[in-house]
Structure 1
Amino acid sequence: MAYDDGFHDDVTPPHHRPTAGSILGGTLIALVLICGLIGALLLARPALDVDRQSVPDAPEAAEGR
């Protein structure tokens, strides 16, 4: 029983504060992900724009007949 007397159930581990480097690293990763999503949206925007696309009346192969 003497061995169990040294342990307590209500002891919580100490909380470690994040360092400035880890905060900066997480912010940089989030910024890169957000910029990547915005860049992909800007690059895909012309392809997704339906108003500019003209639908041809007939295929090009049928125009010469």
Structure 2
Amino acid sequence: MTASRSGAITQNPGAIGRQVVRASVAAIKRKRLPEVIETGHYGYDRRNIDDPRIRSVPYR
């Protein structure tokens, strides 16, 4: 039996911003945009909340 892991998921706002700019430029150039644009996310809990990649993204 495995223990359940509770925590939360946060979006990656830096990646969201980069993808918005890329999609905007592509749209201005009349390029076809993908149906889904992956912007990334992180799962976190008390064991990894201090990881620098995660610590920088949750809203406070």
TM-score of the two chains, using structure 1 as the length reference: 0.34
Bigger share in helix: 1
Bigger share in strand: 2
TM-score of the two chains, using structure 2 as the length reference: 0.36
